[in-house]
Amino acid sequence: MNRTAQLIFAWCGPLMLALILFGLLLARFLPPWISPHDSAEQVAHIYQVHHARIRAGCIFTLVGFGMIGVWGVSLAAQTRRKEGLFPVLTYAQLVTMAAGSALLMAQSVVWAAAAFRPGEVSPQITMTLNDLGYIMLLSTWLPFTVWTWALGLSILLDRSDNPTYPRWSAYLSFWAGLLYVPGNTVWFVKHGIFGWRGLICLYTPIGAFGIWVLAFTYLTIQNINNGFVHAQELTRDLERP
């Protein structure tokens, strides 16, 4: 039963990516329908004309973002096997994946709220909710960066003869966490590659997240299929100098 549950949780990685991507494409938040320099009237008009499509897309993103923590547990279960009696890095993974997932679920609700009464409220309100949605989406780098770095550190500190994940995956995790940070340029820039329609601000963090999820999904499923499911490997190997 434990093996089956872990496999289900691991396969939630590709599923959540598919749901998030489909939702963003359906609602036309990716590529962004709305530009940061559009007027309030233009933003409100798009929400008014396409409100049903946007709401439907938000449902898919909400479910997808909610599955982030479910998938992340499959990674934490693997690194927990090696960490010892006081698994601070595992706890860091669990807390940050929960925080990041909660923030992104709230972000979907914000966009759904913008599409709830378009044309009935002031265009400035609709524009503000749309802005808030993009700012929340791209400003959640802190919990995700801490998560990826905690995972990478747990891999590098694993000195056993049979490490949980290969060392290269730790560096992939560090790079992914670093590439989430440019999303915060959404706070300062409305145009070009650093705005929410830009390569650095939008597509770099999203691309890094997708590659990271797919890579660790593959490695985790490989571990589970190789039988690394039940054993709590608190060996003396962890204490080697």
Residue 241 falls inside a structural domain: no
Q: Which of 117, 135, 109 is nearest to 57 (CA)?
A: 109
Q: What percent of the chain has pLDDT over 90?
A: 81
Residue 175 falls inside a structural domain: yes
Model pLDDT, residue 182 = 96
Total of domains in the chain: 1
Q: What is the pLDDT of residues 4-17, one digit of tens each?
A: 899 999 999 999 99
Residue 210 falls inside a structural domain: yes
Position 230 confidence tier, pLDDT thresholds 50, 70, 90:
low
Mean pLDDT (whole number) for 178-202: 95
Residue 233 falls inside a structural domain: no
Residue 235 falls inside a structural domain: no
Taking 90 as the threshold, does the pLDDT of residue 236 lie above it? Answer: no
Taking 70 as the threshold, does the pLDDT of residue 133 lie above it? Answer: yes
Q: What is the DSSP string of 10-64?
A: HHHHHHHHHHHHHHHHHTTBTTBSS-TTS-HHHHHHHHHHTHHHHHHHHHHHHHH
Model pLDDT, residue 32 = 95
Residue 234 falls inside a structural domain: no
Taking 70 as the threshold, does the pLDDT of residue 226 lie above it? Answer: yes
Q: Name the residue range of residue 198's domain.
A: 2-227
Taking 80 as the threshold, does the pLDDT of residue 105 lie above it? Answer: yes
Position 221 confidence tier, pLDDT thresholds 50, 70, 90:
very high
Q: What is the pTM of this model?
A: 0.89
User: Whole-number mean pLDDT of the chain?
Assistant: 91
Is there a contact between 62 and 108 (Cβ–Cβ < 8 Å)? yes
Q: Which of 214, 185, 220, 210 is nearest to 78 (CA)?
A: 220
Q: What is the DSSP string of 88-111?
A: HHHHHHHHHHHHHHHHHHHHHHHH
Residue 236 falls inside a structural domain: no
162 vs 140, higher pLDDT: 140
Mean pLDDT (whole number) for 168-179: 97
Model pLDDT, residue 238 = 39
Residue 30 falls inside a structural domain: yes
